[in-house]
Amino acid sequence: MSIPAGTPPAARKRPRIFYGWYIVGASNLSNAITSAVYFQGFSAFVLPIETTFGWSRSVISAAASLRQAEAGFAGPAVGFLVDRIGARWIIVTGAVIVGLGLIGLGLSNGVVMFYAFFLFISLGTSGVGHGVTWPTVVGRWFRRKRGLAIGLAVMGPIVGAPMVVVNASLIDAFGWRAVLVGYGVVITVFVSLLGLVARNRPQDYGLLPYGEEPEARPGAVALSRREPEYGMSMSTVARSRAFWLLSAYLGGMFIANSGFQLHQIPYFVNDRGFSSTAAATTIWIVLWASGFGRTGGGWLMDKLDYRLVLVAASVMLASSFVYLQMGKPDNLVETLPFDLLFGLAFGTTIPMRGTLGSMMFGTRSLGAVVGLLQGTGVAAGVVGPILMGALFDLRGNYSLGLWLIAAIALAGTVPVLFMESGRTLAARVEATRPRE
């Protein structure tokens, strides 16, 4: 990356490995580490923290709910900042905040400090996580294989998930406080360094996005450091039908996803008579299957009409809940059709914000677009768990709730019917490209 920024792309020697793939790898690894301690991996800390302080389970659960809500509020702001100042320093700052917050959490001596540092960490994960910053950067570095690249970039939680077992062993050996402090140091130093790998856009380094060739752009102005990305402004995006159709689709999917995820273990224990261990195992199978959904869904959006992928994800999600109602699984093996359908559908939605945001609207305001989609999705996702809980309280089981979220998931096919073809979207974005 030492060639002057003003060097025309055509005059450069093509690197053996396109730099965007390094960004994909950095995204994956940084989110694997963060997930290992703060998202999936934090479940290993719940019981030791309860034992230390004597708190009820609801105290820690409420903190996790606040984590989700803060991510929804912070997402749009992070997206706008990514467009204004670039993602690199937002990621680095987020990593430092998460690291220092984990150190503080490990030193907490009461509920006030616990909540304060938990929220502090949540603020940092909005910058370093794969919700907004990394997908935006990857979306700007790729034209061809964009869906695959974003899918691989958001695989971090799958890579970090096995750390739950390691965390339990570390906590037994050193105590939960020392493990949190150790993770804090690792994230402050190592994940911050990974954040430095991020580059806002390839044009600043005399490169073109992956899959875009100079000769394929007759009459186009070669983009340089001084020239803006092409695509729609955020004000234009917000007035477009495409944005609200995509928001409606993702909102419905998040209601159904989040509605069942929080209640997955209670459902299998209460309604199906599973042990807690067997019920928890279904979560790991779903998470494993979601890894195929993340990469496979992104790859399919590169290859097929994106609307087919959206419909397939919607139908798979609805079918997973219908299977629970009709199949009534009584053991772990019988849950596999649900686990695979639910995991694939859930995983497919993860790369959609970055992939479809750049496909529909270009990269000029991609950070703001992804941030707003993150905010609306998380806001909708808050409805699902509350809805499922209320219907359980009303009926004493999850049957009605499952039928309802199945209907909501299937209703996701409705906005897709009104979405435009990928060719139409590409032509509209191409029309915003600077010309001579």
Rounded-to-integer distance, Cα 122 and Cα 119, Å = 5
pLDDT in tens, 26-54: 999 998 898 888 876 777 787 788 888 88
- What's the confidence (pLDDT) of residue 278? 82
Band the pLDDT of 68: cuts 50, 70, 90: low
Contacts of residue 299, Cβ cutoff 8 Å, sequence gap at least 6? 147, 148, 151
Spatial separation of the C-alpha atoms in residues 130 and 157, rounded to whole Å = 10
How many DSSP H helices and E strands does the chain contain? Answer: 21, 0
Residue with more model confidence, 103 or 361: 103
* pLDDT band, very low/low/confident/very high, at 3 (cuts 50, 70, 90): very low
Percent of the chain clearing pLDDT 90 (strictly above): 31
Residues 6+ apart with CB under 8 A from 331: 278
pLDDT of 343 above 70: yes
- Segment among 1-15, 280-294, 335-349, 381-395 with least mean pLDDT: 1-15
Helix (H) or strand (E) holding 34: helix 19-38
Is the pLDDT reported for residue 295 higher than 60?
Answer: yes
| Predicted pLDDT at 288 | 87
pLDDT classification of 65: cutoffs 50, 70, 90: low
- Predicted structure pTM score: 0.80
Which amino acid would we find at residue 393? D
Question: Residues 143-158: pLDDT tens digits?
Answer: 888 889 999 998 888 8
Angle, vertex CA 136, rays to CA 131 and CA 142, nearest 5: 130
Q: Which of 54-58, 130-134, 191-195, 257-261 has the highest mean pLDDT?
A: 191-195
Helix locations, 198-335, DSSP H: 234-238, 241-270, 276-303, 306-327
Domains of the chain: 9-205 (1.20.1250.20), 234-430 (1.20.1250.20)
